[in-house]
Chain A
Amino acid sequence: MLDFVQQLVSGVALGCVYGLIALGFVLVYKATEVVNFAQGDLMMLGGFFAFTFIGMMGLNYWLGFAGAVAAMALFGMLAERVVVRPILGYPQFSIIMATIGLGYFLRSVAGMIWGTDDLKIETPFSQGVLRMGSLVLAYDKLSVIAATMILCTLLWLFFNKTTLGTAMRASSENMLAAYYMGIPVKRVVSIVWAISAAVATCAGVLLAPITFIHSNVGLVLGLKAFPAAVLGGFGSIPGAVVGGVLIGVIESMAGFYLAEGWKDVAPYIVLLAVLLLKPEGLFGLHVRKKV
C-alpha cells in the first residue's frame, strides 16, 4: 500500500512536469488554434537562458529566473513574428511543420552554443526532502507541483476573467470576426506566444535540477507533454494539468508494476484508447459542424 501511495505521489509530481509543459501547448492552441511543436524546445531554451544568467553570470537564482522569463517572452514574440504570423490562416498542417522546423533549428543552435553536456543549475530546491510519515517527496518535485498549480490557476483566471483573455478566446474562435469587433488580433497572438514562452521557461528552470538541461530535453519531454495536452482536450487549461497528471501516474505505475518497457509505452496506449472513445479528449468540446 505504501508503495502504491509513493508511486502515486511521484507519478503526480512527474505528471505536473508534463502538465506544466502542456500548459504552453494549450495556451497557444487556445488563442490561435496553432499547435506549437517547438514548445518543448522553447522550454529547453528557457533552461539554457537561466543557466547563462545564473550559472555563468552568477546572478541570484530568482533574479536569473525572472531574467530568463523576460528574455524568453521576447524570444517568443520574435518567433511568432518571424515564423507564425506570415502563415496564420493557412492550413494547420503547414503551421505544424513550421514549428517542427523551428524546433529542429533551436535544438541544433542550442547544441552549438551551449554544447552537448548536461548542465545543472543550483536552486534553492535542489536539496532536501519533505517527509510525511513514511512518504518521501523531494523539494524540487514539490516546487514543480506548486508552480503548476499556481500557473494553472493564474492562467485560468486570466483566460476567463480578464478582457485580454476573452479577446484571446474570441480570436481563436473566429479571427476575422474578432478583428471586426476591434480586437487587435496580431497583438493578441504576439502576447500569447510571449506568455507561452514564459510558461515554458518556468517549466525549464524548475525542471533543471530534475532532468538537467541539454539540447534534447525539450524533444523528450515535449513528446510526453503532447499526449497530456491531447488527453486533456487541448483547449482546456485545467485539462492540460489533469492530462499531465494522468500520464505521469500511468507512467510511474506502469514502471513499478509492469514489466520493463511498458513504462514508456503505457501513456501512449492509454492515449490511443481515450482517443478511440472520446476523439476530443477528456475535457474537449464536442461540437458538430453545421452545414
Chain B
Amino acid sequence: MRFLFKTDYEDDIRLFPHSGYVVSYGILFALLLVAPYVLSSYLMSQLVFVCIYATVGVALLILTGFTGQASLGHAAFLAIGAYTAAYLQKYNVPFPVYFLAAGVLTGLIGALVGFPALRLTGIYLVIATISFALIVEEILARWESVTNGNEGMRVKALSLFGVAVPRDSPTFYFLCLAVLVLTIVGTLNLLRSPTGRAFVAIRDSETAARSMGVNVALYKVKSFAISAAITGFAGVLFAHKLSFISPEMFTLQLSIEFIIVILIGGTFSLHGAVLGAIFIVMIDPFLTYLKDDMPGIIAGVAAALGAGKERAAGIQSTVAAFASLNGLKGAIYGIIIMLFVLFEPLGIYGRWLKIKLFFQLFPLYKRATFKRQKIYVKSERNR
C-alpha cells in the first residue's frame, strides 16, 4: 500500500496525486486514441454515445452529486442545446459559435430554473424540475416556426473550419472525447476551487454552509447554470450524432436515464459518470447479444449436461421467446436500479474502490469500512 505524504496544500489539491495515476490514465488515453482504428463502426458509435452520456453525467454530478440538488429535468437542457445548434446551423453559423451559444443559452436557462429551486428542497425540487422539463417538451412541440414541431429537425453534418465532419468519422469521436475530457478536467478544477468547496458544503449541510458565510442562493444558482451549460454542450454533440431531433426524444425517460447514469456509476466521484455512461449505453448491445446468442449457448450447455436433443431445442426456443419479449429492457432497467439502490448505493465505482481496498489491506479488510449510517430521526418537513 502506498502512503502519500502531503506537506502543503498544493500536494493536497493535485490532479494526479502520484505517478501511478499518470501511468494508468496515460494508458487509458492512448487506448481511447487508437480505438477508432481498432473497433468496429457499431462499437465506435456506441463509444461516441458513451462520451455524450458521460458529459451529461458529469454535469448532473456537479448538481446532484456535489451540490445535492436533485434534478429530473436534464433532458430539457440537452434538448435546448440540441435545438439551439440545429436552429443556428440553418443560418450557416459556424460550429464554434453555435457550440458556445448553445452552452451559454442553456446555462442562462439553467440559472433561471435555479431561482425557483432556491426555496425548494427534496421532493418539491424534483417535481419542479420535472414540470420544467415537461413544459420545455411541450414548447418544442408547439413552437413550430423555430423547432418545426413534432416533425422534428434535420441536423446537417458538422463542419469544423470548412471541413465536414461526418457523424461516423473518427474526427467526430475525437471531438466528443475532447469535450468529455475538457469537461472532466474543468470540473476537477472547479471542485478544488472555492466554488466547488462551497457546492460540497451546501450538499453536506445547508445550514452549516450558511453559517460559515457561504452564499447558498448564489452557489445553488451557479451550480444549476454550470450543470445546464455542460448539458447544453453535450446537446450539440447529441444533435449532430443523431442527425435528426424531435421533441419525443427528450422525455422524462431520458432524464431518468441520466439519473441512472450517475446512480449506477456512483454519485460521489467523476469516475461514476463515465462508468455509468458505459453501462447505460452498452445495455443495448448486451440485450441484442442476449437475444441472438444466448438461446443457442444455453441450449448447448443443456445438451452438454445430458439433456436430449428435443429437450435442448425446446429450451432454446423458450429462452429465445423470453429474450425477445416486449419490454424486457424496461424490466431489466427496473431491476438494475432497484439492485443498485439496495445493494450498491455507491455504484460501480464504489464497488471498484471496495475491491481495491480489499487487496490493499488483504487480510485486514473489514466490511464495516463502507457501512452507511442510517438516519431515522429525519422529518424532511422540519428541515
| B325, B330, B381, B382 interface centre (most CB from chain A within 10 Å) | B381
Q: Which residues on A sit within 8 Å (CB–CB) of B283?
A: none
Is residue A184 contacting chain B, with contact meaning CB distance below 8 A? no
Counting CB contacts under 8 A, is B30 at the interface? no
Residue pair B342, A112 in contact (C-beta under 8 Å): no
B131 touches A287 (CB 8 A): no
A280 to B382, CA, bound (A): 11
**Which of A101, A264, A272 gathers most chain B CB within 10 Å?**
A101
- Residue interface mask A94-107, B partner, CB < 8 A = 1: 11111011111111
- Decide yes or no: A174 and B377 within 8 Å by CB, A268-B135, A275-B128, A289-B207 being known contacts: yes
- Enumerate chain A residues within 8 angstroms of B142, measured Cβ to Cβ: 260-261
With A87-B342, A227-B127, A275-B124 given, is the CB distance from A108 to B141 under 8 Å?
Answer: no
A97→B120 CA distance, assembly (Å): 19
Chain B contact surface mostly: helix
- How many chain B residues touch A (CB < 8 A): the figure is 54
Interchain nearest-CB distance for A287 vs B (Å): 5
Binds A, one of B3-11, B230-238, B311-319, B332-340: B332-340
Cα of A175 to Cα of B142 in the assembled complex, Å: 47
Q: Mark B101-140, 1 if CB is under 8 A from A, else 0.
A: 0000000000000001001111110111011101100110
Least Cβ–Cβ distance between B77 and chain A, in angstroms: 16
A88 to B64, CA, bound (A): 20
Q: A97-B337, A111-B326, A285-B381 are in contact. Are A230 and B345 (CB under 8 A)?
A: no
For the complex formed, measure the closest distance between the CB of A240 and the CB atoms of chain B, giving whole angstroms: 14
A-B contact count (CB 8 A): 163
B249 within 8 A of A: no
Q: How far is the CB of A31 from chain B (nearest CB, A)?
A: 12
Listed stretches B31-39, B173-181, B194-202, B368-376; interface member:
B368-376
In the complex, what residues of A have CB within 8 A of residue B70's CB?
93, 96
- Answer whether A111 and B327 are a contact pair too, CB < 8 Å, given A97-B337, A234-B123: yes
* Bound-state Cα–Cα, A102 to B126, Å: 18
Q: For residue B327, which residue of chain A has the nearest CB?
A: A108
Q: How large is the interface on A (under 10, 10 to 19, 20 to 34, 35 or more residues)?
A: 35 or more
| Residue B367 is within 8 A (CB to CB) of chain A in the complex | no
Given contacts A112-B326, A261-B141, A289-B207, contact A176 B127 (CB under 8 A): no
CB-contact partner of B135 in A265, A280, A287, A289, under 8 A: A265
- Contact B119 A92, beta carbon cutoff 8 Å: no
Is B127 touching A226 in the complex (CB atoms < 8 A)? yes
- Is B28 in contact with chain A by the CB < 8 A criterion? no
**Is A94 in contact with B134, judged by CB distance below 8 angstroms?**
no
In the bound complex, what is the Cα–Cα distance between A107 and B335 (angstroms)? 12
- Cβ–Cβ contact A101 & B126, under 8 A: no
Q: Is B383 an interface residue (CB 8 A)?
A: yes
Min distance, Cβ A37 to any Cβ of chain B, angstroms: 9
Q: Which chain B residue shows the least CB distance to A219?
A: B252
Cβ-defined contact, B342 with A89, below 8 A: no
Interface residue? B277 (CB, 8 A)? no
- Chain B: minimal CB distance from A178 (Å): 9
- Tell me, in angstroms, the Cα distance from A101 to B263 when the chains sit together: 12
CB atoms of B379 and A101 under 8 A apart: no
B382 A289 Cβ-Cβ under 8 A = yes
A25→B139 CA distance, assembly (Å)? 28
The yes or no answer to B328 lying at the interface (CB within 8 A) is: yes
Q: Cα distance A98–B341 when bound, in Å?
A: 6
CB proximity of A262 to chain B, nearest CB, Å = 9
Per-residue B-contact encoding for A253-284, CB less than 8 Å = 1, 0 else: 00000001100110011011001100111001
CB distance from B221 to the nearest CB of A (A): 14
Report yes or no: A89 in contact with B135, Cβ–Cβ below 8 A. no
Chain A, range 92-132, C-beta contacts under 8 Å to B: 92-98, 100-109, 111-112, 116
Q: Does B310 contact A (CB under 8 A)?
A: no
- Verify if B274 is at the interface (C-beta below 8 Å from A): no
A104-B333 in contact (CB<8A): yes
A258–B236 Cα gap in the complex (Å)?
Answer: 33
Question: Does B259 reach chain A (CB closer than 8 Å)?
Answer: yes
Residues of A within 8 A of B372 (CB): 90
Which chain B residues border A86 with CB–CB below 8 Å? 342
Q: Are B127 and A96 in contact, CB atoms less than 8 angstroms apart?
A: no
A234, A279, A284 interface centre (most CB from chain B within 10 Å): A279
Please tell me if the beta carbons of B135 and A175 are within 8 angstroms of each other in the complex.
Answer: no
In the complex, A259→B215 CA distance in Å? 42
Residues of A within 8 A of B334 (CB): 101-108
Known A-B contacts A97-B259, A101-B337; the reply to A172 vs B131 at CB < 8 A is no
| Residue with the highest number of chain B CB atoms closer than 10 Å, among A86, A88, A176, A230 | A230
Residues of B within 8 A of A73 (CB): none
Q: Closest CB of chain A to B338's CB: distance in Å?
A: 4
Closest B residue, CB atoms, query A175 = B376
Residues B131 and A105 in contact, CB atoms below 8 Å apart: no
Subset of 20 A-B contacts with CB under 8 Å: A88-B374, A89-B376, A90-B345, A90-B375, A93-B70, A94-B341, A95-B341, A97-B337, A103-B334, A104-B331, A105-B334, A108-B334, A109-B327, A176-B377, A226-B130, A265-B134, A268-B131, A280-B124, A284-B381, A287-B381
Sorted nearest first, the 7 A-B pairs with minimum C-beta distance are: A105-B334, A101-B337, A104-B334, A108-B330, A108-B327, A89-B374, A268-B131
B interface residues with partner A (beta carbon < 8 Å): 64, 70, 116, 119-124, 126-128, 130-132, 134-135, 138-139, 141-142, 207, 211, 252, 256, 259, 263, 325-331, 333-338, 341-342, 345, 372, 374-383
